[in-house]
Amino acid sequence: MLFTKNKFKYFKYGAFLALLVVSISSCNKFLDLKPASEITDPTYWKTANDFKLAANFFYQNTLDDPHYSGTNNSDNMSDIAFGTQTDAVSAGTYVAPETDAVWDNAYSWIRNANKLIQEGSNAELGQDIQPYLGEGYFFRAYNYFTLVKLYGGVPIISKVLLPSDPEVFSKRADRAVVFDSILRDLNFAIADLPVKKDAETGRICKEAAQAFKARVCLFEGTWRKFRGLTGADSLLEQAYSEANNVIASNAYSLYEAKGAESYRYLFIDATSIDNPESIIVKKYRTNINVNGWAYGVSWGNLNPTKKWPMPTFARTACR
């Protein structure tokens, strides 16, 4: 009797303890945490503003920055300044690097453009996001044009890749194929983008895309013309007609706000918000986007000649 009672007691204890152990861990949801301060892909892409922010990315990143587009010392190649060290390119000692930021950056921006196009094509927001989808196409074309100018034919990536996708290891496409792709994107962009007067101030519009397409066609048309390749004439004709479209649109005019001084103030007018002469520009504004390296004059790197436009310069201090 005593024995069985004991047995029951053990069982009771055992059951209770087992319950205690199990109670803390039964739910797997404990590990399903949600980011509380970060935005995730599945929750994004719900409003037109989401697409607008995604399109904004390209303005800050892909548009050429006049300072970074060359070297800090590119004035040394002119007669207003000189360097104290031999230029590796002119000395013939320049070795092509294994990696290049232009290549890496372009594909990183293309990845974002692909994402915008992919999400925009699937979204049900319709008209509301059409301009941003157009900007996605435009900037994808813009980046491929940057690549093709420097490298010729490059791999064409038209979706958001994962490391496991075989496309990561795509071969370089034929130069002509890259241009076909650029022009196709630009045509989509021209179709999607609003005309300048309907577009938000400063954003890429239909006329800007047309002007860019004219430049692309002129570049490649000329390239082919002088190499006797096919398609040259057709490209040059497109350049001509797109340029005419821009002229006919009357969307742009010369900047004349400062009268005779207008040329001097073309890029430095602090009061001008949207210059009528500018089609696609990188913008600077105090406290928002500033270029701190306008004149990187320093001992040994950039030495002005008498032709230097500024009368004086300050030597940067040693620290």
Partner 1 sequence: MKLTIAILLACCLQASAHVYSQKKISITLSNVRLSKAFETIERNSDYRFLYNAKAVPDNLRISIQATDLSITQILDKIVKGNGLIYNIVNSKVIAVTSAKEMMRPVHVTGMVTDRDGHPLAGVTIMIQGLKRGTVSDENGHFEIEAPDNGVLELSFIGYQRQEVPVHGGQPLSIVLREATKGLDEVVVIGYGTRLRQGDLTGAVTKLSADKIESRPVTGTMDAIQGLIPGVTITRQSGQPGNQGYQLAIRGASSVNGNVPLVLIDGIPGDLSLINPEDIQDITVLKDATAAIYGARAADGVILVTTKKGKSSDKPRVSYSYNLAMKTPGIMKKATTTAHFVEMFNEANKNDGDPPAFSDSTLAKIAAHDPGVGKGENWSLQSYPMFYGSKDWYGDLFKTALRQTHNINVSGGGNNSTYLLSFGDMRDNGNISAGTNASSRDNLRLNFQTRILDNLKLDANVSYDYLDTKTPSDLNDAIDNGLKVFSYVPVRNPEGNYYGYQGYENPFQELEQGGNRRTRDSRWGNNFKLEWTPIEGLVWTGQLGINLERYDDKAYYSTNIEHNWDNSDNLLIRNNPNSAYFNSWSSVYKNYSTYLNYDKTFGRHSIKLMAGASREKFTRETENMSGADFSSNVIFTLPLSDPKNLSAGDYWDDNSWALLSYFGRAGYSYANRYFLEGTLRKDGSSKFAPEKRWSDIYPSISAAWKLSEESFFKNTIDPHLVNLFKIRASWGRTGNQDIPALGLFDYIQLISIGGKYPIDGSTVSKMAYLNGIASPERTWETIESKNLGLDLALFDSRLSLSFDIYRKNNNNMLVSVSYPSTLGAVAPSSNSGKLLDKGWEFTGGWNSKIGKVQFNLGFILNHNSNIVTDLQGQDSYNLGLTTARQGYPLNSYFGFKGTVIRTKQQLDDYAAKYAGKGIVPGLQPNGFGGLGIGDIMYEDIDGDGQITTYGDKSKGYSGDAVFLGSQDPKFTYSLTGGLKFDNFDFAFILQGTGNKYVWRGNGNFGVPLSQFWFQPLDYFYGKTYTEQNQNARYPRLSNNATVKNNNYQFSSEWLENTKYLRVKNVTIGYTFKQIVLKKFKLESLRLYFSGQDIFEWAKGTWDGMYDPEEATPDVNNPAYYENNYPMYRTFSFGINANF
238 touching partner 1, by CB under 8 A? no
Beta bridge pairs of residue 285: 289
287 touching partner 1, by CB under 8 A? yes
- Mask of contacts with partner 1, 165-204, x by CB under 8 A? --xxxx-----------------------------xxxx-
* Number of residues engaging partner 1 in binding (CB under 8 A): 68
42 touching partner 1, by CB under 8 A? yes
Q: Residue 110 is inside which H or E element, if any?
A: helix 101-122
Residues 6+ apart with CB under 8 A from 262: 254, 255, 256
54 touching partner 1, by CB under 8 A? yes
91 touching partner 1, by CB under 8 A? no
- Mask of contacts with partner 1, 296-315, x by CB under 8 A? ---x----------------
Within residues 249-278, the interface with partner 1 by CB under 8 A covers 272-274
The two beta strands, 303-304 and 81-82, are antiparallel
35 touching partner 1, by CB under 8 A? yes
C-alpha distances (whole Å) from 264 to each of 78, 257, 295 are 20, 11, 17
Per-residue tokens: 123 = 């979204």
C-alpha distances (whole Å) from 268 to each of 93, 252, 279, 284 are 38, 19, 16, 9
Let me know: does 228 contact 239? Beta carbons within 8 Å. Answer: no
Per-residue tokens: 201 = 């101030």
**Which C-beta is closer to partner 1: that of 63 or that of 232?**
63
User: Smallest distance from the beta carbon of 79 to partner 1, in angstroms?
Assistant: 25
User: Smallest distance from the beta carbon of 310 to partner 1, in angstroms?
Assistant: 18
The residue within the footprint of partner 1, chosen from 47, 78, 86, 108 (CB under 8 A), is: 108
Half-sphere exposure in the Cβ direction for 118 (13 Å, CA): 12
CA-based nearest residue to 160, from 204, 107, 206: 107
**Which C-beta is closer to partner 1: that of 285 or that of 307?**
285
The residue within the footprint of partner 1, chosen from 30, 126, 127, 309 (CB under 8 A), is: 30
C-alpha distances (whole Å) from 278 to each of 48, 65, 239 are 27, 15, 19
User: Smallest distance from the beta carbon of 294 to partner 1, in angstroms?
Assistant: 17
**Which C-beta is closer to partner 1: that of 223 or that of 265?**
265
**Which C-beta is closer to partner 1: that of 100 or that of 256?**
100
Q: What is the rounded distance in angstroms from the CA atom of residue 52 to the CA atom of residue 193?
A: 13
Q: What is the rounded distance in angstroms from the CA atom of residue 114 to the CA atom of residue 103?
A: 16
Residues that bind partner 1 (CB under 8 A): 2, 10, 13, 17, 20-22, 24-25, 28, 30-33, 35-42, 44, 50, 53-54, 56-57, 59-60, 99, 103-104, 107-108, 110-112, 114-115, 155, 157, 160-164, 167-170, 200-203, 272-274, 283-285, 287-289, 299, 317-319
